[in-house]
Each structure stands twice: as C-alpha cells, then as structure tokens.
Structure 1
Amino acid sequence: MPPEVSGSPSDSLELGWEVSGASGAVVWQKDHREVKQAQRTAVSSQGTQHKLRGKQVTQAAQGSYSCDTKDDSTTFQVKVRETEEMFPNKEKVQKEVKAALTQNAPLSWEVAQEKPEVKWSKEGKLITASKKFKVESEGKSGGLVVSQLEKKAAGEYSCEAAGQKLTFKAAVPEAEDAFVSKETVPKEVKAALTQNAPLSWEVAQEKPQVKWSKEGKLITASKKFKVESEGKSGGLVVSQLEKKAAGEYSCEAAGQKLTFKAAVPEPKPAFITQEKVQQEVNAVLTESASLSWEVAEDTTEGKCFKDGKLLIASRKFKLETLGKPQGLVVEQLERRDAGESICEAAGQKLPFKLEPTEAEAKFEHKAVQEEPLVVAEHESITLSTSVTPEPAARSG
C-alpha cells in the first residue's frame, strides 16, 4: 500500500524519494499525468535524492503521485484535509455597519482557534494599527474599530485568517438634518453700531453640542460673545456690534453647519442740511455766540464737547438738544472759548469753530465843526472825543 501524506489547505507539501544509484531521468506524475515545474510546484534532484514540493496546497492537490525512473518507481497517496471553518457563526456576524460621521464603526469577528493570525485590509490595501484604525483581539474574538468615521473611510473591509476571508461594509448613512426650519431662520442679521446682533437656531435634538466660529476661528463665550442654549433652541449674541465684528459666523452641530452673516449697515445721516450749517462762527467778546444744527429724527438727542469734555447746561452754556432744531449758546464770550467744539448725534459728529473778535469802536457824539478853529501861533489847543466800548483799540 503506497505511503499516505496528509496536509491542510494552504500548507506546503513535500514528497521525497531516494534511489539506490544513478537512475537517469526522473518523471513525477499525478493521477498518471506528468507534473511539471510551475509557480506552486517545484521539482528538484540532487544525486540520489528526488523531491516534489507544492506550495499552499488546495483540495485539487489531493490524489495519487508517482515518481518513475528507468529502473524503478514509487507511489504516494496525498490527502488534503477538509478546510476548517475559521469564522463560525459568520451568518450571524453584522457584516454591514452604519455609523454617523465622526462616530466609531466597530467590525467584529469570532474564530475557531484562539489567538489567530488575522490581517485586515480595505479594498485590497493592508491596514496597520494606528490612531484611525484600532485592531482588537482577545481569545477567539476580535475586531477592527474605525475611529471617527469619515466618508472617505466608508467602504469594504476584509478580515483574513488561515486563508479565509470575512468581508464587512462600513457605511455612512445620509445624515438627518441637525437644524430644523433652517429655511426660515434669518441668516443675515443687520444691527447698527453699538447694538446687539442675535444669531438664532433650532435643532432636531435637545441639548446639542454646538460650536460657533467666525471665519474659521472658534468662538468661546465672553463679554463680547454670549452663547445661549435651551432645549432645542439657542443662538449667539454679538454684543455692541462693531465693524470689525461684522462678517460670516458658522454654527456647527452633528457635523452640519448653519451659516450667518452679521452686517453693519451704513448709518443714515444724523444731521440734515449739513452743508448749509454755519460751522465757522465769529462772535464779539463779552457777547453771546450761537451754534445751530438740525437732526433728522426728533428723538435724537445731541451732545456737545469742547476739548473732549462734555458740556452741560449752565449759566455759561445754554443747550437745546431735543427736537430737530438744536443748538448751543455760549454766553459772555471769552478768549478761552475759542477753538473747536463738537456736536454729536447718533454716533455722528459735526464740528464747529468759534472765533472771538474785538468789538468795533464807535464815537458816542459826532459833533460837526462848522467853523474852522483859529489858533494863534504858540497858543495851546485841546481836541477831545469819547468812543464805545471802552477801552477801544487805537488807530494809528
């Protein structure tokens, strides 16, 4: 009875025969057909030693082999054991795993033998353990965890053990809208300078984890930015809007974004007929000087400043800052009142320049001398007059 050689699938097979002396050519056959050198089959002869090697045998390698020389021959019976199922209960394994974006996707298996040598690949490319891919194995169980799933990480994954494969599919389902009624949310918010700009949202799930950013930069709650959230509603309030705070704001929840635009519209002119206002005022010392303007809205209250200091109503300053026509009267004008005064309304400014002048001298009594005065030589004569105000500037 020919000797029997047994092997398992994917094992290597070696058949060897030693002859007594030089025997000439050797022919190997399987089931009466010659076996030739091939990718998985190697035939070698060295002196009296003759060998046939097979790599990664399959069930097709099973059969009767013979080694024939001119004077002798020998026969082997090769048996390949039935393949052991490496993945029991594979029908019950969840082969299609769905996970939302940024969540983890676990792919799990169970094998017949403990501590198997397992290889993972994605669409033919070998996977190595990393921050993105966590390979787990304990006893007969194990798996692969795809961390923080992205769309590009979705696809087909293969787990291979003892030449057998188990295939999984990781999928990213279409995300449910995180923001509800987003078509009706005012996405462009306009607010005047120094006013608050509220940006509001409503989400599908309560207590969402929301992040705000402005032009790509993360926003944290502060005196300038107030983050609000209650149930399914919330928002961001930009306090006392400035021009530099205007721009694009993004609200992110569950990987989805809602974009807002905060704008500062050009303010309406606070002063009307500004071109006709007398902004350079000349007034006589000790007299009153009037600065007048008119505002567009009768609810706008004006303020006046001199050298950066707010002027308040007093005996010196009379202020009329309610209604549309408004003004400032400076009583008993002095030289120190000269210079620029600023009127401010609704954040806009109107400058005035005040220039005190000396009073013009006038004669009190203009007596007409009808007859010429005749004075003898070497006699004295006195001429006198009076002017107002006193003292008057002398003319040369």
Structure 2
Amino acid sequence: MPNGAKSIAELSVKGSIVRKLPRKLEVLEGENAAFCVEVENDDMEVHWFKDGLKLHETHQTILKSFGKTHILVFVNVVHNDSGVVTFVVGRSKTSSRLKVKATRHCPPIGPAEIKMDIDRPNSALLSWERATNSQTTTRSIFVLEMQEVGSQEWHKCFTSETATSAEVTGDAVPCEGNYRFRICSINKYGRSGHVEFPKVVHLGACTLNLKTCEVTQGEDAHFSIELSASMPGTWFLNSSELNQGGRYSIQQKQTKHSLVIHKTETAEDMAEITFIANGVRDSAVLKVKHINKRVDTGDAIVLYCEVSHPLAKVSWFKDGNGLEVMEGLNIQAEGNMRRIVIQSANASHSGVYTCQMPGDVITFNVDVAEPPVMIVEPKEDVVMKIYIPEEINLQCELSRSNGKVRWLKDGEEVRENDLIQLVSEGPYRKLTILRSCKEDSGEYICETNGDSVFFQVTVTGKSKAKVRNERLELCCEISKVDAPVRWYKDNLEVEEGPNLILEVDETKRLLVIPLATVEDTGEYVCDTEDDSTVFLVTVTGEIRDFSNLRQDKKFFPYI
C-alpha cells in the first residue's frame, strides 16, 4: 500500500511425494550411491534424471520400485558421477546433489606410542596410538597378534577399527607360558609394518577370569573364577575378607571358585570384588542398579515388590516422607505382593520411592517426563527467496507454549544482535533479520528436544530506483557484465522510444523515462535467464510524485 502497509501469505503445496530425497549425498569413490523416494500411491509413473538427462537401467545404474517406494543406485561411483539427481512424478519433483570424494590409494602407517602394562597378574594391558599422519578417509583396522616364546607362529588375538588399547588375560591363551605381542594396521590397499611390544608376559594362571556383575537392587550377584591348577583362594569385598554364611555363599570345586552375594544393596554399588590365590590376583566390579521407572505425564505409575511372608508389613516413602492412601494414590497388599498405584502422573510425582521393612529396603527412581515438544507449523521444510535489503522472517508454531527451541544457521547457533531478533510469543517462535544481505543466505533450522524444521533462504539481487525532477530511473545490478536482460511493463516487453531509454553500464541495467506521465504507472520487471526483480511505479496528478516508488516484495521463481 502507498502508506507502507503490507500483507504476506505463505503457500505450501503438497504433492505426490511422501518422502523426499536428501538435499546432499556424499560418498567416496568406489562406493555405491543410493537414493530412495516414497510416493503417495502404488502404480504411479515415475522418472529419474541426472543433470537433466533421463536415467535408464544399466549394469551401473539400478532402478527398482517396490509399491510406493522407488530406489536408484549408482554402482561403484567415480568422481565424474557427481551431479544433481532428480525424481519426478506427475507435477511433483525432488532433487539431491551427489558429491563423490576422491580417495588416496595407499596402505596405512603403522601404530605409534606402543606400550605394555604387566602390573596386573596374569594379564597384559597393551596400548597404542594411531599414527599422526595416517589417512583417515580410508577405513583401516588394528590387528594385534601374539606368539608363545619358542614358537615361530603368530596368532591373531584382537582386531578393532577405533580402540587404541586391549587387555589380554590368561584365558585368551591356548596354554600357560610366556608370550610376546605385535601390532599392525590394515586397509583395503595394504598392510603397514609390524610393531613389536618390548616386553614378555607370563599368562595362563587363570583359565576363566572374574567379570563385572551388574544386578538390580535385591537380586543375587554371582562371581566365578577358574584357575589352571587346583589351589585355595580368598574373596574380598572392598578389601574386607568374606566368609561363608549369611548373605555370602562361597564354594570351590577343583579349579573353579565361586561367590554369591544374596540380596544386593544399593550401598554395594561399584564395590570391588577381589579373588587372591597363590600367585593369582583378579578383581571385578559389582554394579547395583536402582529400579528406574520413566513414565509420561498422564500415565499410571505402578511400583511393586514381593515380600517373603504374606503377613509382612511394609512402609512406603517418597523422598523420605511417608505415603498414605489419598485421592489418586492407592497402597495395596495382595498375598506376598506389595504395591502402590498413582493413577495419573504429573511432574510432582517424580522422585525416589522406597518400600521398607525391618532389615530390608528397595528403592525406585521415578521420572515423570513431559511429552516432546513438536513443531505444529510449518509441517514441511520451507524455501524462501529474499531481495536485498528486505526483512527475513522465519516462524514456527510449537505444540506447547513453554517449549524451548534453538535456531541454527548452517550448523551454527544463531545469537541475537542489533540486526537479528529472536522472539517467543505463546507457542510461536520467530527469527527476524531486519535488513538482509547476501551473507544471510543459507540453511536455517528451528529445533526442539523432539522435532525440527528447515528453512532454505536465498538472498539475491540489488535493485534501486531514482527520480530526478520528472525523470524516472529504474536500475538493476546483475552478477555478469555480459548477461542479457529484458524489461517488461504490465507483462508486455517494452520497446525503446523517444520517452523510454534502455541503458547498459557495466553490471547495471537501466530503464529511463525522461518525462514520466500517469500512463507510465504500472509494474515493471527486469528479467534475466535465472532471476528477476520487480518495481511498482505510481504517477499521480499533474504533480508527478515518485516519493512512494519502491520495490515490491514478490517471489519470482527461476526460469
């Protein structure tokens, strides 16, 4: 409107494509590049294109359809396969940019910083580092080998792509003896040289080592160890010697020793269990978990345990405070079962619940979680085109007014400043850039703890209009000096004449009307092959007023 008021609407067109292609797919040379699209109905006529050329199935291009799902695979891609892949069904289409990265074909460099720790009996802790100048674009693995002293054969004992340490214990060797170790790196292009560890270790006193035991509070914990010879041994809990009886059951059957801790308690969480025999020492960790219960708001909470006698009395507590029957909370006892039921959970019901009786207690950690914050609008990703220096407005509507969001641009979090505003009003979250420039182009993301939406923003063009006395000048600045443009007035291409001049000044293209009249009022468009910009010109009365000349905020698609 002449007074500066405006109204903007957003149009979202849903097509036949249910699941779109990714915006970009990067693969290495020699790998397969796979694209998958899902459409609305079976038996729809679809087409695949690459760089505008229709694709047909070959030994390197696979086209498959499974009902609503359509798949394209490029086999064993090379660098020249990079380009734009497009899927078309009816009037709908989706595109993805394929980028094929080159790889260096060379064998890996051997591991460095080789160390062996043999402080623990009957085990060797081997550690190493990846070579600092090794190639990370090609997948490689570490291969650890062992050899018994006196033998000529090396045996593989450990492989890993990421680990930089390994513990080899007595149960990993075929027989008791002295062992040495070496390591190398392998990829599909070859093997590095072997690097041998400097020490020799004696292994084989234990044929089965202790292992960490993880139980829930109240369950029994079982530990066992097997030696290479029959000998007596002693069990310890955090350096305190354990004896047979009460909560501890200790047995030895020839070379096998076992320990059972009955009815584990939370105080024993992360306790160290140690076994010591003649020349043998081994340890493991006891992990005792609380009973964790996670429920959503509005769901029922049911906590129960079983007692040894149907007449046993228990007391229920929440965060140390006693619980009693009330509206929405029931305390029940049926036979050996003891139970509390909270009919509809809310945030206040989160906490630590305990069921206690003389000599025993069981604990429940309850977490009442709110449902994730979802983005109600927009339902799909948004593509926007903005002209310099227009205002950029990105807006989301959340499923809850108290939901929190993060705004990201090209992966970096957006912060408020003099030109950027982040607004929160009820369920609406808005990012505003007051005066756009080309650097504001990019991919913007609004994300919650459970959802996200993308805004692809392109800021383009520079346009300006000048009025000198009764002279009208419309000016566009383009990116290429030799690019041709066409001027239109009210959708009709203009022609030069005595009162309409088309000028070229390097990257500038001008439309000049030396003596503007009422008949010159209208919509003027400067159009290139790839872009366009528009001016609304109003000439009123005998006094020609160009003060309201402005660039209209309209979206013109690429041609």
TM over 0.5: no
Q: Which has the greater radius of gyration?
A: 1
**TM superposition score normalised by structure 2:** 0.24
